[in-house]
A = this chain, B = another copy of it.
Amino acid sequence: MEDPGLNETKYHHGNLKQALVEAGLDILREDGLAALSLRACAARVGVSHGAPKNHFATLAVLQAAIVAEGFRQFAATMRRHMNAAAKDSKTQVMASARGYVAFAEANPDLFRLMFSMERQLDVYPDLMPASREAYAVLREVTQRIAPDSCENPVHQTTNETMLWTFIHGFANLKANRQFYTSNAETGKDPELEDVFPKLSYVELED
C-alpha cells in the first residue's frame, strides 16, 4: 500500500494502537470504568478480540496508555483555562484549579483511573512523563504566586503540596458528587470560588 497523503495509515487497520486508546477513552466516558475491556475496545475499533495483544500485552498496559493520554488531556485542559484567563498570578492559579476540577467533573471515571493507576508508576513507564506534564502546570502557578520563597526548595515544595492537596481534594469530591450527597439537607454544592480564595497562600513564609 503506497499511502500517499496521510502519514499514519499503515496496513490493515493503520495504527491500531492509538485507535484502541481513543476507543478506551470513549468507552470510559460513555459507559464507565466497568465497561472498559480489551474486547470492547477491539470491537469498537472493528478488529478481532486478539488484535490488541500485539500492542498491549495486557489490559493493565492498555489502561496505562489510556491514563497517559488522560494526563496529557488533563494538562491541556488546565492550560486552556489559563490561556483564557487574565494573566495575573492569582487569576492564573484559579484558572488552573478550574481546569483541574472541570476535567475531573467531565471525566470522572478517567480521573479515578488516572490517580488510582499512578501508584504503579514504575510498572508502566509511559505514565511518568505524562504525569509530569500535568504536575508541571501546578508547579508553574505555584512558583508564580509565591516567587519569593522559590529560593528555598522546602517552602516551594510545601506550597505545591498545599495547593495540589486542596485542588485535588476538591476535584475528587466534585467528581464523586460527594458534596451533593453529604450536604443534601442544606442543598449546598459548593463552587471553587466559595472556598478556594480563603486559603492564605501568601502567609506561608513564616
The segment from A20-28, A83-91, A183-191 found at the interface with B is A183-191
Chain B residues whose CB sits within 8 angstroms of the CB of A132 once the complex forms: 182
What's the number of copies of this chain in the assembled complex?
2
Contacts A182-B135, A199-B199; is A116 near B112 (CB within 8 Å)? yes
Contacts A182-B135, A190-B158; is A168 near B177 (CB within 8 Å)? no
A residues 173-206 near B (Cβ < 8 Å) are 173, 176-179, 181-183, 186, 188, 190, 194-195, 198-200, 203-204
A150 to chain B: closest CB distance in Å?
14
A128 to chain B: closest CB distance in Å?
8
A169 to chain B: closest CB distance in Å?
2
Could you tell me if A119 and B168 are in contact, using CB atoms closer than 8 angstroms? no
Tell me the nearest residue of chain B to A116, going by C-beta. Answer: B112
Tell me the nearest residue of chain B to A183, going by C-beta. Answer: B157
Assess whether A43 is interfacial by the CB under 8 Å rule: no
Chain B residues whose CB sits within 8 angstroms of the CB of A190 once the complex forms: 157-158, 161
Contacts A177-B119, A178-B118; is A194 near B161 (CB within 8 Å)? yes
Could you tell me if B115 and A181 are in contact, using CB atoms closer than 8 angstroms? no
Contacts A157-B183, A186-B153, A190-B157; is A115 near B178 (CB within 8 Å)? yes
Assess whether A145 is interfacial by the CB under 8 Å rule: no
Q: Can you give 19 contacting A-B residue pairs, CB < 8 Å?
A: A112-B116, A115-B172, A115-B176, A118-B181, A119-B176, A131-B182, A135-B182, A158-B198, A161-B188, A161-B190, A161-B194, A162-B195, A162-B199, A164-B173, A165-B166, A166-B169, A169-B170, A200-B200, A200-B203
